[in-house]
Amino acid sequence: MIPLKRRKISHTESHQNESCKFPHVPIFILERKMGASRRSFLTRLARSKGFLIKEAYSSAVTHVVSENNSGDEVQSWLENQTGVDTSTSVHLLDVSWFTESMAAGRPVTVQDKHRLKVNPKCNGDDNVILMKSYACQRRTPLKHHNLFLTEALELLAENAEFSENEGRSVAFRRAASVLKALPHRVHSMDELKSLPCLGEHSQRVIKEILEDGTSREVESTRQSEQFQAMKALTGIFGVGVRTADRWFRKGLRSPTDLIRMGQPLNRAQQAGVQYYDDLQKPVTKAEADVISDIVQQAVCAVLPGAEIQLMGGFRRGKEFGHDVDFLITHPEEGKEEGLMAKIIKWLEERGLLLYQKTTRNSYLEKMDGPARPPNNMDRFERCFSIFKLQISDRSTGSHAERSVSQSETLSWRAVRIDLVVSPYCQFAFATLGWTGSKLFERELRRWAGQEKHMSLSSHALYDNNQKHYLRAQTEEEIFAYLGLEFIPPSERNA
């Protein structure tokens, strides 16, 4: 749909303003879902009968006519495009009112059957935003107005994950996501009445914070020995929730305890303990850019023409992250095979990898595409690694030479990096899947399954009704297949 624009008022419209029979009923016909040709036909028909049809929406319009849209869709679209609040100033009407008026030769009385239904808004001075229930339908900026609430809900979500209560964790994260998308700071519970995904538990926490400035449950959780221990143990590279919980039950509370008690560790966990302090420090965007230059150098050296893209939170605009993700491909299908081993060899020869584990690509479209598991773990060739980042002016934002051969370094630190190689035919899906956020991707898959009867993964999109794959070369095409407005990476911070 082409965005609503201010159009020059044509000679025809100027003439009809002077000669129309019903100047007190300025009508705007919404092109959304109707199409330009039908809108043009209805405009000519109405003007031939003396109706006043406006080419552009403005505060002068009293009747908005739409076809195949809900009231919420029309109101939200008009407000987004024009900045005008239509909630009380205009009739939002189904095309049935228009056709009845054409038949009668005059504007018929607006009845309830003609009106498009709009969900009620909260009372108050602040504008209440119509909020879609799926995070993939909403624009969620990196910086928002309700950090004091979302941090509390996300802490409870993290604690639920430590208890392997996925349902509760997702509920808290969905509630936090809604608050992140609000264009204003929440001051009272009344402002939340019409918002989706806010369960009773989340509302209790929010209410307590709004009234008392803090939540007893959140603070109790934050200070609990179990939460602090699980956070420390799961922060070790190579350690998941189940392993951390098993260690906690044995009385282990920190990486130091693992060493002191002689806890057996696998190779990844050994590296995680060894470089624990470094890996707990946030990675800056400047550091990610330095690593990106080095990986780019490695990729180009072993396979000219290959493409590499910085993924994850940094692609969404974050200035800090806990690791650095790269997605690699080659425009010539099949050229990417064997690429990972060559990249790893190049990096190891230069002493840049402190640890690495590579998994092969095991995705087979015929077997794995249509029935992806809920967690969407992809099957790409991937290398989980700990990178040895030389620290100098180069990693603090200086424009100094960034060649790997440069030896004048002050020191180094360990940084987690993930390298992922994708076939070119799957690159758009891999890009979408590896951009995040985690909840945004989860909601995309949920939308695909529940609303569109499709199966979406980081490899493919499968239409379960038509029993075939939908091919895409860009993220925009995938959003279009799913019937969603395209949301750029910077606004996927659900």
pLDDT tens, residue order, the chain (494 aa): 344 444 444 444 455 555 688 888 899 998 877 778 888 989 999 999 999 999 888 877 889 999 888 888 888 777 766 555 555 568 899 999 999 999 999 998 888 888 888 775 544 444 455 788 999 999 999 999 999 999 999 999 999 999 999 999 999 999 999 999 999 999 999 999 889 999 999 999 999 999 999 999 999 999 999 999 999 999 999 999 999 999 999 999 999 999 999 999 999 999 999 999 999 999 999 999 999 999 999 999 999 999 999 999 999 999 999 999 999 999 999 999 999 999 999 999 999 999 999 998 877 765 555 554 444 568 899 999 999 999 865 455 443 334 444 444 459 999 999 999 999 999 999 999 999 999 999 999 999 999 889 999 999 999 998 898 999 999 999 998 888 888 999 999 99
Active-site annotation holder among 85, 126, 278, 418:
418
**Residue 263 within a domain:** yes
Task: Calculate the CA dihedral of residues 25, 26, 29, 30 and round it to 10 degrees.
Answer: -110
What pLDDT score was predicted for residue 378?
81
For residue 334, is it left (φ>0), alpha (ψ between -120 and 50) or beta? left
Same-domain status, 334 and 365: yes
Q: Where are the alpha helices (DSSP H) in 252-364?
A: 255-260, 267-274, 276-280, 285-302, 312-315, 339-349
Q: Is 193 exposed, middle or buried (0-12, 13-18, 19+ CB in 10 A)?
A: middle
Q: Do the domain assignments include residue 183?
A: yes
**Chain-centre distance of CA 460, in angstroms?**
18
Tens of pLDDT, residues 68-97: 888 888 887 777 665 555 555 688 999 999
- Judge if 291 and 399 occupy the same domain: yes
pLDDT, tens digit, for every residue of 178-223?
A: 999 999 999 999 999 889 999 999 999 999 999 999 999 999 999 9
Containing domain of residue 409, as a range?
283-424
**Are 287 and 420 in a shared domain?**
yes
Structure letter (DSSP) for residue 354: E
Residue 439 contacts by C-beta under 8 Å, 6 or more apart in sequence?
A: 135, 170, 173, 174, 177, 494
Residue 232 lies in a domain: yes
Look up the CATH number of the domain holding residue 150.
1.10.150.110
Determine the residue type at 447.
W
**Single-letter amino acid code for the residue at 257:** D
Any idea what the CATH number is for the domain that residue 457 is in? 3.30.210.10
pTM: 0.72
- Are 410 and 361 within one domain? yes
Q: Indicate whether 442 belongs to any domain.
A: yes
Statement to judge: residues 397 and 290 lie in one domain:
yes
Other C-beta atoms within 10 Å of 466: how many?
10
Among residues 212, 323, 368, 378, which one is catalytic?
Answer: 323
Last residue of a domain, one of 104, 119, 153: 104
Q: Distance of CA 197 to CAs 103, 175, 211, Å? A: 44, 5, 21
Is the same domain home to 149 and 96?
Answer: no
Instruction: Tell me what pLDDT residue 398 has.
Output: 41
Instruction: Determine contact, residues 74/92, Cβ cutoff 8 Å.
Output: yes
Q: Dig out the tokens for 90 from the structure.
A: 């205009």
Q: CATH code at 401?
A: 3.30.460.10
Active site residue 293: no
pLDDT of residue 292: 97
Report if residue 396 sits inside a domain. Answer: yes
Helices (H) and strands (E) in the chain, counts: 20, 14
Chain centroid to Cα 96, Å, comes to 37
Q: Which of 278, 325, 378, 393 is catalytic?
A: 325
Last residue of a domain, one of 396, 424, 452: 424
Q: What angle do CA 318, 494, 377 make, to 5 degrees?
A: 90
Domains of the chain: total: 5
pLDDT of residue 401: 38
Are residues 387 and 303 located together in one domain of the fold? yes
- pLDDT value at residue 5: 41
In contact, 489 and 441? CB cutoff 8 Å: no
Per-residue model confidence (pLDDT) at position 391? 85
* 418 is a catalytic site residue: yes
Looking at the structure, do residues 246 and 302 belong to the same domain, yes or no? no
Task: Report pLDDT for 61.
Answer: 84
Structure tokens at 140: 């969620």
- Kindly state whether residues 320 and 387 are assigned to the same domain: yes
pLDDT at 109 (0 to 100) = 84
Last residue of a domain, one of 248, 280, 312: 280
201 and 156 in a common domain: yes
Q: Is residue 176 part of a domain?
A: yes
Give the model's pLDDT for residue 409. 45
User: Residue 305: CB partners within 8 Å, gap ≥ 6?
Assistant: 330, 331, 332, 335
10 Å Cβ neighbour count for 453?
12
